Structure 1
Amino acid sequence: MTAAATTHQHTNCLRCGRKLTSTKSTATGYGPTCTRKVKAAAKAEIVATYKPHLVAKAEELIEQGGIVALRGRNVFQVVASNGVDTYKAARQGCTCAAGLKGKHVCYHRIAAHILSLAA
């Protein structure tokens, strides 16, 4: 992970779009209410559906602000693990290599699923 990725400050919540005021919120990109909603959604349905290591990667992606809603909280822009490439992800699919093959569910889709449940 690059230093630029860790020091990026968000001014609005990546989930609801409201203005962020606390230092912690601007660092993570989510306000306290949205953070709770995202975590609750992840635990409720996601843990029972997907493999634990993929859920952990999806939660990490969300915590680092690597996923942003594009259209009505159904389609998301996702940053790849290399920090350069981006994909479009939704509950139904992803434009990454794993998502295009459709053989396995990628963690980008799981992150999109978590955020769509938290909406």
Structure 2
Amino acid sequence: MRAHTKATEHGRCLKCRRPLRKPTPDGYGPKCRAKLRRAARTDTTHPKWQTAKAMELLELGAIVPLRQNRIFLVVSDDGTELYRTAATGQCNCPAGLRSVRCYHSVAAHLVAAA
């Protein structure tokens, strides 16, 4: 029988793919979480409310990287929709389809920048 270690039971960090020792609701390890918070604090290119909503998405674990931290799946506010968004600003949410910068893409930008 195969022995399980603490690191393999809890999965891997969504950002750096290192094994996690403790389960986290957001899926990020402590170092990557600190980098995300630092990126959010220093972000001056987006409105504060969008950065706050993006951090809320990250804390809830509602953003999951698909390909090399460039394309992400993001859950909507009410939890009924999944959107694809990119760190470069494209998103298939209603706002993104109107070419308006949404907080989904801000969250993706923060993950990619961290």
Q: Into which bin does the TM-score normalised by the smaller protein fall? A: 0.7 to 0.9
CA distance in 1 between counterparts of 2:83 and 2:40 reads 21
Helix, strand or coil for the counterpart of 2:69? coil
State the Cα distance separating 1:115 from its structure 2 match. Answer: 0.5
8 Å CA contact retained: 2:96, 2:102: yes
Helix, strand or coil for the counterpart of 1:27? coil
Which residue does 1:19 correspond to in 2? 19
Name the structure with the higher helix share.
1
8 Å CA contact retained: 1:99, 1:106: yes
**Structure 2 counterpart of 1:19, one-letter code:** P
2:98 paired with 1:101: yes
Alignment of 1:15-54 (within 5 A): 15-23=15-23, 26-44=24-42, 46=43, 48-54=44-50
Q: 104, 111, 116: which one pairs with 2:112?
A: 116
Q: Number of aligned pairs? A: 104
Which residue does 2:81 correspond to in 1? 85
Structure 1 runs (4+) deviating above 6 angstroms are none
Structure 2, unmatched stretches of 5+, are 1-9
**Structure 1 counterpart of 2:70, one-letter code:** N
Structure having the higher Rg: 2
Structure 1, unmatched stretches of 5+, are 1-9
CA distance in 2 between counterparts of 1:11 and 1:84 reads 25
8 Å CA contact retained: 2:12, 2:20: yes
CA distance in 2 between counterparts of 1:75 and 1:49 reads 20
2:62 paired with 1:70: no
